[in-house]
Amino acid sequence: MPKFLRIGVHQSNVSGYTSKAWCVRRVGSAVFLKWGAVEVLGAGDGRKVYWTVPPREKTIRCGTAQRANDYVKSSIARRRNHRYEPLAGPIALRRRSTERSTDLKPALATILIVDIVRSTEKAAKLGDARWTKVMGHYYAAVRKELKTSRGKEVVTTGDGVLATFKAPAAGVRCATAIREAVRTLGLEIRVGLHAGEYKVSGAEVVGLAFHIGARVAAKARAGEVLVSSAVKDLMSQSQICFRDHGVHQLKGVPERWRLYRVED
């Protein structure tokens, strides 16, 4: 059964989107669809995906096996065009404990969010096989720089990465290193960094700080690394140079934020 995953910034929706999965299966002339909100815990090979509530299901009667096969191909194409990634592992249904929130522990870190610019356009131009190969090299390059900078990968988002750092300077240096590394693959990225508190429960992380980081990244142009004032204020003794990028209203985020561009 082909499965596709779209990962939100975290499990709570603040004018953004929650993580969502789609499953498509054909049996003869019938197509079975299943979709709904999911939780994504961990990253990489250890990532686990759970339905947050029982998924919605639908059966499409296509009349002939050929029409059903065409419907499946069309459905898969739509998923790929909406920032979904193929999901190989199972999706389990897990009951959420009413006392889950009591396990959440606060943590403070610099949050980095990387996003490939015009990824859908590039994927369509290269085709599935070549794009998959490019993405393999892309993630290898990103993870190499994260390891060098002692960053912690939290989750991948189809064509992006969310990671955390204990030191803001390490996050900024990692962002510029990733930008240069992926340019050798013909890719341009935009990067946003924000420093704030989030909560941790096992492998799960939640908090408004992740949404702020995502909104900062969305303000960046191709090749730009933008940071929030929270990051800049923590780096008053750093040799890294910043240029004022103005005050911005970040979609779905309270208050206005002053942003800064990292200068080469």
The 3-class SS string of 101-161 reads: HHHCEEEEEEEEEEEECCHHHHHHHHCHHHHHHHHHHHHHHHHHHHHHHCCEEEEECCCEE
156: which strand partners? 161
Question: pLDDT of 13-40, one tens digit each?
Answer: 433 446 788 899 888 888 988 888 887 7
Residue 94 has pLDDT above 70, yes or no: no
Domain ranges of the chain: 3-93, 105-262
Question: pLDDT of 55-82, one tens digit each?
Answer: 888 888 898 989 999 999 888 888 776 7
Higher pLDDT, 213 or 42: 213
11 confidence band (pLDDT: 50, 70, 90): very low
Higher pLDDT, 107 or 246: 246
The predicted pLDDT at position 202 comes to 53
Structure tokens at 111: 């949050």
Q: What is the mean pLDDT of the chain?
A: 82
Q: Report percent pLDDT > 90 for the chain.
A: 29
pTM for the complete prediction? 0.64
Q: For residues 76-97, give the mean pLDDT.
A: 76
* Structural fold of domain 105-262: Alpha-Beta Plaits (3.30.70)
- Identify the weakest region by mean pLDDT among 3-12, 88-97, 171-180: 3-12
* Structural fold of domain 3-93: q64v53_bacfr protein fold (2.20.140)
Using a 10 angstrom Cβ sphere, with 0-12 exposed, 13-18 middle and 19 or more buried, the burial of residue 45 is exposed
Question: pLDDT of 125-153, one tens digit each?
Answer: 888 788 888 888 998 999 999 999 999 88
What whole-number distance in Å separates Cα of residue 138 and Cα of residue 170?
A: 20
Three-state secondary structure call for residue 259:
strand
